[in-house]
Amino acid sequence: MAAPHIPVPPGVSEADFADAVRQWKDIVGEPWVFTDEESVALYRDGYSPFWDEAEERVASAAIAPDATEQVQAIMRIAHEKRIPIYPISTGRNLGYGGSAPVLSGSVVLDLKRMNRVLEVSERNAYALVEPGVSYFDLYNTIEERGLKVWIDPPDPGWGSVVGNALDGGGGWTAYPFRDHFGAHCGMEVVLANGDLVRTGMGAISNSKTWQQNRWGYGPWVDGLFRQSNMGVVTKMGFHLMPRPDAYISGTATVQNEQDIVPLLDTLNLLENQHVVNGSTSIGAGGGPGGGAGGPRWTCTVPIYGPASVIRAQLDYAKAKFAQIPGSGWSETPLMTIPLTSEQMASVRQVSFAKPNLSTFSIGARSAFNPNPTSGHIWFSPIVPRTGEAMIEFYRFYQESLAEVTGGENLNFLGPIGLTNWERSLILMIMFPVTRDKAMNAKNVAAFRRWVELAGQRGWGEYRTAPAFMDDVAGTYDFNNHALRRLHETIKDGVDPNGIISAGRYGIWPKHIREA
Ligand SMILES: Cc1cc2nc3c(=O)[nH]c(=O)nc-3n(C[C@H](O)[C@H](O)[C@H](O)COP(=O)(O)OP(=O)(O)OC[C@H]3O[C@@H](n4cnc5c(N)ncnc54)[C@H](O)[C@@H]3O)c2cc1C
């Protein structure tokens, strides 16, 4: 069965939809409303585990406005006619839904054309951007103007600074900048009925400090627009890192399985003291006692800052790791920033604020990999950041593997321990997505089962693909799903006709919940 083509959104009459399309064309211009099957197919999710199947989530149409006033006018019509809308910024959310809506038949509101970098302040280290601004765009603007501030790119540089942050994405330079939602400061949001809100200090007309003080006055509402469906974000501010003078990195090694306990405790101390600010990593190798060669665990701690200061910070980190019996240590030479082009060619560029697309070479077709996958989805629960939890997760993985996979080799990769989110430990298992429907079905079932089993232990996913949004939301079940009930109450209040991104992160509007 092929992916369904949906000419009219669910619950909307043909006449109402035709009327809305006509009015939208008046607002944005005829060429920017897409209703033909070929154009709408461009919004399919190439990483969907339901590719070409009835469950694949597809749009009915798309609109690409160029200004906030156009977004407001579009939303007023959608609100009046109860047409489901799915806003995207650059729509490159591969692994988490691409540019396809969660509710099939929604109209994609494509904000790519709103791609103005509205302000970059070197002096106060912030930027204000529209949703269509990609990491490449912001990087190029800063380079052209010769400003000494860094952006924090995720691995794929073509995504949206706004869209990535709204989906809970992250990058690879220093904390706190690599937590993209955490580093934002101020938003402009179009609500379902077309009303326009600015958050934080932006709520003062003619505000002078919108990108400087995040909290503003009164209840802070920005979190309502993260991983949610409460509004359409049309501007967002971000704190930038002043370009650091230098970079240095050290790696501690330990030999025994149980050494992961003091290794993670030491890492936690160094990060919580803000001695280490770079994106750290934990490596698993060898066997217990390093029997299979090499250390059992490694921990890499990069540091950004002034040369003399980071030298002292790394020496402190080295001394702390040296307290673990039998541990080893190595370090990279200190690098002065900006790097030369030769240096830049030899490093992971996103760690030096340079966006690129090299991540897509991993797993691509090559002489060694003649049958690449069509994409990936990630099972990535957050577990306590302790060595005991890490060992428990590996045991959990081994013990549940046969049940979850039915004893078959489903080709997934991992678990990999990730420490790039401060104070969190993520144990990621990478599931392949292929064009083999039977294999995809087995992987989807395995993923769902692991979400459930992890949830029973108190471990939850921090971000997920549309196929699993309801499953993951179901694990956040304290007090009979009190958080979901609160989300629904807020949703019903700010979007009473339930038109924005129905189903995103497990939040469904009232009429769909009741149906
Ligand atoms: C190989 C590979 C590596 C990756 N590495 C990383 C990584 O290092 N870090 C990382 O974070 N991600 C990573 N990703 C995931 C993903 O590709 C990126 O997060 C990407 O930036 C998201 O796409 P986007 O920026 O175009 O966001 P969009 O697709 O535009 O937005 C994401 C979602 O947010 C919502 N949204 C977007 N804009 C708005 C708006 N204006 N108003 C309301 N709601 C909105 C929508 O629901 C949308 O679907 C990786 C993916 C792959 C395949």
Q: Which numbered atom of ligand 1 lies nearest the CA of 170?
A: 11
The proportion of the chain whose per-residue pLDDT surpasses 70, expressed as a percent, equals 99
User: 509 near 498, Cβ under 8 Å?
Assistant: yes
pLDDT value at 366 more than 80: no
Instruction: Tell me what pLDDT residue 289 has.
Output: 47
Residues with CB under 6 A from ligand 1: 87-97, 99, 111, 131, 154-156, 159-160, 162-164, 166-167, 169-170, 232-233, 359-360, 501, 504
pLDDT band at 291 (very low <50, low <70, confident <90, very high): low
Cα separation, 383 vs 462, whole angstroms: 11
Q: What b/e sequence results for 90-106 when a residue is b if at least 16 CB atoms lie within 10 Å of its CB, and e otherwise?
A: bbbbbbbbbbbbbbbbb
Copy the structure tokens of residue 13. 């009459």
pLDDT value at 494 more than 80: yes
pLDDT value at 183 more than 80: yes
- Tell which wins on pLDDT, 515 or 34: 34
The protein residue whose alpha carbon is closest to atom 40 in ligand 1 is 233
Mean pLDDT, the chain, rounded, equals 96
Q: Which numbered atom of ligand 1 lies nearest the CA of 232?
A: 42
Q: Which numbered atom of ligand 1 lies nearest the CA of 363?
A: 1
- Tell which wins on pLDDT, 362 or 150: 150
Contacting residues for 379 by C-beta, under 8 A, at least 6 apart: 428, 429, 431, 447, 450, 451, 454, 461
- Helices (runs of H) and strands (runs of E) counted in the chain: 13, 21
Q: Which of 72, 75, 94 to mutate to test the pocket of ligand 1 (most atoms within 8 A of CB)?
A: 94
Q: DSSP string of 490-503?
A: HHHHH-TT--BSTT
Which range is least confidently modeled, 64-78, 280-294, 349-363?
A: 280-294
Cα separation, 126 vs 240, whole angstroms: 5
Q: Which of 107, 135, 160 to mutate to test the pocket of ligand 1 (most atoms within 8 A of CB)?
A: 160
Ligand 1: distance of its center to the CA of 30 in Å? 28
pLDDT tens digits for range 229-253: 999 999 999 999 999 999 999 999 9
Report CA dihedral (294, 384, 445, 85) to the nearest 10 degrees: -120
Q: Which numbered atom of ligand 1 lies nearest the CA of 169?
A: 11
The predicted model gives 39-47 an average pLDDT of: 97
Q: Which of 278, 279, 344, 280 lies closest to 143, judged by CA?
A: 344
pLDDT value at 290 more than 70: no
Q: Which of 301, 327, 296, 325 lies closest to 315, judged by CA?
A: 301
User: 277 near 225, Cβ under 8 Å?
Assistant: no
Cα separation, 32 vs 183, whole angstroms: 32
pLDDT tens digits for range 74-112: 999 999 999 999 999 999 999 999 999 999 999 999 999
Q: Is the pTM of this model over 0.85?
A: yes
- How much is the CA Rg of the chain, to the nearest whole Å? 24
